Chain A
């Protein structure tokens, strides 16, 4: 790891100022950034920690659903979101291991938009709103491909607002080494329809499976998707599974998520 300076502001305004500086890089839970720095693949001049800002911490209900501060750890979401949005809490409780869940944050995960991360599927399937220091971004506009989001230079997530569905479940199939999602499917049923978001599988990151959404909006049962197929052409191939295998997982896991959602 190369040397760097470190700042830990206590307000969103101070954080924005610090991030405007030369060579500044936002740091949340550090579960991706710190290992990258240790490998000397990243060498930011200044790390600006976002975990010391009180208004970016915690889970509460409010306008539009469940508000989660961007610097809230997975462990806290797993515990505090549970009474309000169980599928989301269970997703948080299934990320990594206890050490990862104690450090990693929802904002960090969504800002990084790793194509195999769990949280993007929850944000997209819930139709959540990503709130930044500058604006509010709808989930359909926010995710823009592998490690790519709508966030602009100097912009950082301050909270995420999740509408709470009637029924929802997340089913993840672990990549056997990293335990990231080889494929993960989040299904959320709202009064006005069903949203299905898939992580880990697509070769352009998290995506909505709209054919399944239509079928499930008409009939929320696993059998509703039995006639659908997923085109492997849009799927990722790597050491742990081919595109065809992932396409299969998308369908199998969607069915299981619907069943789990009840």
Chain B
């Protein structure tokens, strides 16, 4: 009988009541008294030198209150990169200033170089159009292609960076010679050249920000679409505008999806605060969808050469990769960590590989900044690895299931120190592979393929055995690796006098379901109904300093902080109970919501203890403070390592090249599962995004740096008809060894594990159909690309 409440129950998502009935409150829903509107003037060229910006006409237009240009912010700080990466030769990365508004040059289409504040959005738009007409931007040749950017030193995104390279990173540089030697000695070497396609995040809610300033107190408030309000506060206050943190409240209310793109601080947030101060009025900006396409941090965009050295029977001996990773025009906050420590450290996957070396050059181009997007670096690593392993099987005539079995780490090998720096604590990769094989009825594939053929379709099957590192991250470790922030999290558990509970958490939910799951955990631990627990998040004036949600970290990190705070509540409750029950503290046990004296029927309910803490008439005031509220900070001891096996089946229409995903099976190991329904939903969403990347989504800038896929007319998002009914299993559970809930993380898994399974399935289908000349098709494996590959 499945549980109907607490840990492990599929409790219904309480937040959905407001989301599904239109009662969510998003930033743009807030209409503040005397609110003014901001509209940005954005570059329509990819690269240009800013000449005179004549504000005379625009300033005089109806409703216009203020105009800002890059000049107004030239003396404040830039929006910093959060992670310092050193090149192979030890030199630090090149780190150009990212200003609030472009100053001197514009560097991508959509780069804002001015902003107009007016009474209404329409008036601000009219004036912005005028201001664009009255601005001189001398167009320069655009730098779009990464290889060309590196090759041509004469044309520079940032004048002070001669070769457009941010850094040239080797991981692990000291192992390079040994890897080269192992590759040279390998009996067989497989090489693949891969493009990991650039993606545009497309959160349902576009970015939006409201700045407020109270001249009476000097307090600022920023309401904004953020995945991590405290980090945004730190960046905008301490780094950019120089506002003391205690004078700035950041609120991230209901947020409609982020997928990474709302982790980062953007210049619009600083602008609305500066404008609010200048005008003494709230100033609101909401992105239009076109602005989202042009300015939200994009994802992926790697060009990789991967080589795999192996024995003739498929034992992997060495892996070497060379990657060009696009960072776009400016360094977004996590942009330097994503292609390095979130990518290179995963390049041995779930396999025992003795020699691995990863080289990544990050390149500036006149395109939107690129940063972490669901999976962030780990999908790129998984894709390279799982594609090259399939290619190895094809070249050597080996079975992809057996080859993976041969190379997977075995349960007795944990903890496992990987050759690329991670310490996997636990896992059982055979178990998830076995489970997936069973779920997918691999044995029955030939029959299904014959049935497809009878309908004129080619059927193929693709496998991906993946691992990721999430629950980011141990602060001391990431500090050594260049992180400029800590990555702990925090929670405060406030028991109210009547026994119900408010939990203030540092994690931020922008769709994940924290309000439900976190309450389940607290309710379970305290033996009280879930309905007695509320989760508060997203407001720096209410919550403790946490680091927000990304990298599948909310439960593993913030959930652990919350669990520790609950433990403190129980410990204090025992002290109060011991006093009230006239027993020794050591004799008090807490179970099912009751504090009892061991071996007796003397007990106090949790509610009675809570009441006593706030009405402390019979209370050990000499030794114990009244009240029942505890805070815990938690810094994880390690990453967590979810893993799994995904099997995809596709049908290919040879006439049109169209690929249909007809089955998708996921056997995941997420450790202990708190709410199965929400975990399944996360996997569905992640695999949906992975199928989107594999089959549909792409981002194209033309040679002048114009974004050709800048709307839904040309940017293909996956829809319901593009995805199959998913077959999801999470019964293989090796609980995380270093957090008390034994949880790993499930938010990114689907997007990490699925793209290579899809592409492997397509290549399999084509080979089965006799198109054996097709070695690889870059994502998206669109109809025209498949048809061209078949007929090429």
Instruction: Give residues in A with beta carbon < 8 Å to B.
Output: 1, 39-40, 173, 176-178, 182, 239-242, 244-245, 248-249, 252-253, 256
Contact = CB atoms under 8 A, between A and B. Distances in A.
Contacts of B125: 40
B714 A241 contact: no
B292 to A, nearest CB: 14
Contacts of B656: 173, 249, 252-253
Given A40-B125, A173-B656, A178 B782 contact: no
B783 A177 contact: no
A177 B708 contact: no
Given A40-B125, A173-B656, A249-B656, A178 B784 contact: no
Nearest to B657: A245
B717 A241 contact: no
Contacts of A182: 783
Given A176-B716, A177-B715, A249-B656, A240 B788 contact: no
A174 to B, nearest CB: 9
B707 to A, nearest CB: 11
B709 A241 contact: no
A1 B783 CA distance: 36
B787 A245 contact: yes
Contacts of B770: none
A244 B785 CA distance: 12
Contact of A177 (B122, B713, B784, B788): B713
A1 B125 CA distance: 9
B129 interface: yes
A196 B280 CA distance: 66
B782 A240 contact: yes
A206 B655 CA distance: 22
Contact of A176 (B708, B782, B787, B791): B782
Interface in B95-145: 122, 125, 129
Interface of B: 122, 125, 129, 290, 655-658, 696, 698, 700, 708-709, 712-717, 782-784, 787-788, 791
Contacts of B791: 248
Contacts of A239: 698, 700, 708-709, 714
Nearest to B782: A176
A177 B293 CA distance: 14
A59 B51 CA distance: 59
Contacts of B700: 239
Contacts of B712: 177-178
Nearest to A238: B714
Nearest to A255: B655
Interface centre among A39, A40, A176, A253 (most CB of B within 10 A): A176
A30 to B, nearest CB: 16
A242 B784 CA distance: 7
Nearest to A253: B656
Given A239-B700, A239-B708, A241-B783, A178 B713 contact: yes
Given A1-B122, A182-B783, A239-B714, 19 more contacts: A39-B290, A40-B125, A173-B656, A173-B658, A177-B709, A177-B712, A177-B714, A178-B712, A178-B713, A239-B708, A240-B714, A240-B782, A240-B784, A245-B657, A245-B784, A245-B788, A248-B787, A252-B655, A256-B655
A177 B787 contact: no
**Helix, strand, loop or mixed for chain B's interface?**
loop
B788 A40 contact: no
Contacts of B788: 242, 244-245
Contacts of A240: 714, 782, 784
5 contacts: A39-B290, A173-B658, A177-B715, A245-B787, A248-B791
Contacts of B122: 1
A256 B658 CA distance: 15
Contacts of A241: 783-784
A239 B714 CA distance: 8
A245 B783 CA distance: 9
Contact of A178 (B290, B714, B783): B714
A190 to B, nearest CB: 27
A177 B719 CA distance: 10
Contacts of A1: 122
A256 to B, nearest CB: 8
A247 to B, nearest CB: 11
A245 B657 CA distance: 9
A178 B717 CA distance: 10
Contacts of B658: 173
Contacts of A173: 656, 658, 783
Contacts of B787: 245, 248
A238 B191 CA distance: 31
Contacts of B717: 177
B647 to A, nearest CB: 24
Interface centre among B122, B125, B712, B713 (most CB of A within 10 A): B713
B110 to A, nearest CB: 15
B460 to A, nearest CB: 20
B696 A176 contact: yes
A31 to B, nearest CB: 12
Interface centre among A173, A177, A249 (most CB of B within 10 A): A177
Contacts of A248: 655, 787, 791
A173 B783 CA distance: 10
A249 B712 CA distance: 23
Interface centre among B709, B782, B784 (most CB of A within 10 A): B784
Nearest to A3: B122
Contacts of A253: 656
Nearest to B708: A239
Contacts of A177: 696, 709, 712-717
A182 B714 CA distance: 11
A65 B125 CA distance: 50
Interface centre among B125, B656, B709 (most CB of A within 10 A): B656
A245 B656 CA distance: 8
Nearest to B700: A239
10 smallest A-B Cβ distances: which pairs? Answer: A176-B716, A177-B716, A252-B655, A241-B784, A245-B784, A178-B713, A177-B714, A176-B696, A177-B715, A245-B787
A176 B714 CA distance: 8
